[in-house]
Amino acid sequence: MISANDKVTPDLDSEQSAARTWFEQLRDLICAEFEAIEREAGSDARFAYTPWDRTDADGLPSGGGGVRGVMKGRVFEKVGVNVSTVGGALEGEFAKSIHGAGEDPRFFATGISLVAHMANPHVPAVHMNTRFLVTTRRWFGGGADLNPPLPVAEDTDDFHATLKAACDAHDPAHYPRFKQWADDYFYIPHRKVHRGVGGIFYDHLEGDFATNFAFTQDVGRAFLDAYPRIVRRRMAEPFTDADVAIQRAWRGRYAEFNLVYDRGTLFGLKTGGNIDAILMSLPPVATWE
């Protein structure tokens, strides 16, 4: 598997290295499972991987990089799984908006980000992201949320139950808090609608590294448990042109959120990330009427 190991800043400490290694391992596990689903559907689609280097405001190499993985298949109309490990200094006023960077703009970030848009409207789209950031503080953040154009209670309940079990294994207070955080965050104010049926979202989870790292790993494992099961449950269901029309209109709302409100999109653009990797969350086909 292509790795970003040769593109990272050279002086990673043990915590930074452990987090980076896990996100790359999770990427490999997820991509292998998604490719297996394509095999089951009679498709030979596979991920294509493109390494990239972080650049500064002048377009020059500037600390780290990542790997963008994209697959377009029979089940996954478009899925991107990105990993990145970058470091440097945040610029100007933006630094003041990042936890712990107001007085010292130097930062380190490593993480995985995934968005899947599905060919069958009955298969929910999904987003998952987990990350480790270092400024003058050290914290984990991320989560996962389900985005069905045509919601099915069984799938919503399954997804939430799996995430709740992962949360409860660490702290019973995590799930209700992080579920509400997702409900609040993944909301489109100008449409007055939620982006999907929710999940969990957390940020600035700092304190004991081992405890928070273990929780973040279990969030990734929970996603890998729940989402492929839901895909397999729905991917062979018949659908109509009317279903596709609903899906494409819903995708328009999804694009609006990611371009207008999503903090990860802004962070990537402000820190010299790869444009194609940052915008891989956008759907392949959408409509506005």
Taking a C-beta distance cutoff of 8 angstroms, is the pair 102, 57 a contact? no
Q: Which of 83, 54, 125, 74 is nearest to 282 (CA)?
A: 125
- Which SS3 state, helix, strand or coil, does residue 235 take? coil
Query: At a CB cut-off of 8 Å and minimum separation 6, what does 32 contact?
Result: none
Catalytic one of 127, 160, 174, 194: 127
If you ran DSSP here, which 8-state letter would residue 124 be given?
P
Neighbours of 40 (CB within 10 A): 14
Helix residue ranges, H only, 115-273: 153-168, 174-185, 209-234, 241-260, 263-270
Angle formed at CA 243 by CA 242 and CA 246, multiple of 5 degrees: 90
Task: Tell me how far apart the alpha carbons of residues 258 and 97 are, in angstroms, rounded to a whole number.
Answer: 18
* Cα torsion 207, 208, 210, 216: sign: negative
Query: At a CB cut-off of 8 Å and minimum separation 6, what does 275 contact?
Result: 269
Taking a C-beta distance cutoff of 8 angstroms, is the pair 77, 119 a contact? yes
Task: Tell me how far apart the alpha carbons of residues 259 and 133 are, in angstroms, rounded to a whole number.
Answer: 22
- Which SS3 state, helix, strand or coil, does residue 261 take? coil
Dihedral angle computed from the Cα positions of residues 170, 86, 279 and 34, in that order, rounded to the nearest 10 degrees = -50
Whether residue 99 lies in the annotated active site? no
- Show which residues are catalytic: 127
